[in-house]
Amino acid sequence: MFIEVFKSKIHRAVVTEAFLNYMGSITIDEALMEAANLLENEKVQVVNVNNGERLETYVIKGKRGSGTICLNGPAARKAQVGDPVIIISYAMMSVEEAKKHQPTIVFPKEGNKL
């Protein structure tokens, strides 16, 4: 049996951009992605701390060190620039693997820096 468990998250990053006229996704600074163990095209859940909105999308790699957290396409309607968000990924694993699993949590500093 496999279960879906919390794999990693970026806790309270700040939205820096929102582009409505884009096909969709969230662009994340490559350094934040690596620190949070996120891969390009990986499915994530984005939770807006200010308004409670939740959405699922996939990750696009942003410029390293830029601090970019950009909601693209319809997701741009779910947050405004300056909103704090929590970006969460999950993984499927066996119950035995899950018992040993330690999630990765990143707490960005001002400007979404590590």
Residue 22 annotated to the active site: no
CA pair distance 109, 59, nearest whole angstrom: 20
CA pair distance 97, 63, nearest whole angstrom: 33
Task: With CA atoms as reference, report the closest residue to 88 among 56, 41, 62.
Answer: 56
Residue 58 annotated to the active site: yes
Catalytic residue among 8, 22, 58, 66: 58
Residues belonging to the active site: 25, 58
